[in-house]
Amino acid sequence: MKTTAVTPWALLLACLALSLGAARAQEPDRVSDPNGHAWYMYFGDHQLGRGPFGVHFDGQWRRQGVGQKSQQLLLRPGINYDISPTAQASGGYAFIKSHPYGDYPAPFTTPEHRIWQQLVLRQQIGKTGVAHRFRLEQRFVGARESDATNEGRLLGYSHRNRFRYFTKGVIPLRKKGTDSTLFIAAYNEVMFNFGRNVQNNIFDQNRAYIALGRKIPGLGSLEVGYLQQTVQQGNGRVFEFNHTLQIGLFSTRRLGR
């Protein structure tokens, strides 16, 4: 039974090793593009009364550097349904606006509309709370005319599919016989593209994260942490290694009675 205590961390390390191995296994002429970013985020999962339904919303203001220039804006509303105390299904819509950045930038600012579905499973292993999230996305990414003047005319949208697996562990920081509002959080998320419009980058990206968090009574929690994001660009040759400061507010406040 003692081996199960390290299960969440073994999963984190295995996912990270798998995704980094996929990145390292590419052609020898691949190019590395390191960048520094900061993501300021709000995540809300609010149960509606005492029933199984709830609303989800997360908004993320992603910046180049600490905040000098825009990197990405993400707005993601959705509906939650509690299948059981440890399982939740969700679905919704997302709007994303991505800006050029780095030494190998996209040529234009790109809009994206996205439909998403997910299943979250939760478990307790010792004092560690563990969550597993399985998400499917149907992405409609803007395609612009190859015209260097202005922004280029928006020609339409390219349909892409993506699968994401996320696992997160949360360990409270407390001494025996006491309770603390502080905790350590760590997660890994790996993403894969699939479908007919995917050519060079089946492996899309990996996100490895560690943070210090604090519970906020009556609201949720605040986390401040570091994210190592590995991204394979659509050309299959350029790999971004993005060092990212994350500040996230998580709210689970119930709406209604």
Nearest to 204 by CA among 180, 170, 184, 230: 230
| 9-53 pLDDT tens trace | 555 555 555 555 555 544 567 899 999 999 999 999 999 988 999
pLDDT, tens digit, for every residue of 58-95?
A: 999 999 998 889 999 999 999 999 999 999 999 999 99
**Distance, CA of 23 to CA of 241 (rounded, Å):** 11
With 0-12 CB in 10 A as exposed, 13-18 as middle and 19+ as buried, what is 223?
Answer: buried
Measured CA to CA, the distance from residue 63 to residue 14 in angstroms comes to: 29
Residue 142: pLDDT above 70? yes
Could you report the per-residue pLDDT of 5-16, keeping only the tens digit for each?
Answer: 445 555 555 555
Q: Return d(Cα 118, Cα 114) in angstroms, integer.
A: 13
**What is the residue extent of each domain of the chain?**
2-251
CA nearest 8: which of 88, 87, 86, 124?
124
pLDDT band at 150 (very low <50, low <70, confident <90, very high): low
Is 176 a residue whose pLDDT tops 70?
no
Give phi and psi for 208, each to the nearest 5: -120, 130
* The CATH fold of domain 2-251: Porin (2.40.160)
